[in-house]
Amino acid sequence: MSESKQIKETAADYLTSLSSTVDLRHPVVLEQDGEPMAVLMSVESYERYQRLLAKQEQISAGEARRAADQALFGDLVGCALSSDDPIWAPKPEPHWRVPYRLFDGTLMIIVTVDAHTGAVSLTEKERADLLEQVESLVAEANAAT
């Protein structure tokens, strides 16, 4: 049976269930107030974890473009923006950069899509501001012709 041991620090108290000898063949979870806060693991386990992360499946350029298009266009039809081919950016975290251009080729925005989760980095405010700007530019172009 394992007993609880406390690790004291000036900033926080952590609690974990450790036997009298620590066996790092399996990760040890440190808790603070019942919440997991950190993990102790062997270097070998950490290296396996890193290899697993490297093998984690990433979304394709097409999936990234669809996610960005859905976030930007939503239910819009006939917008004067179009997306270019996504650009792969492996660092700092793997992601796709999807450029959007106006009908005349002017770059309006680059939307970032997380390569692992497909999460799009476009807020509602950014979307609204962009669509307002596009509408204004289209109106100007129509007035000029």
Q: Are residues 68 and 113 in contact, defined by beta-carbon separation less than 8 angstroms?
A: yes
Cβ–Cβ contacts within 10 Å for residue 2, how many?
Answer: 9
Question: Domain boundaries in the chain?
Answer: 3-55, 61-144
- Tens of pLDDT, residue by residue over 12-71, are 554 555 555 666 667 777 778 888 777 777 777 777 767 666 666 788 999 999 999 888
- Tens of pLDDT, residue by residue over 93-137, are 899 999 999 888 889 999 999 998 899 999 999 999 998 898 888
Closest by CA position to 107, among listed 134, 72, 69 = 134
- Structure-block tokens of residue 12: 């926080």
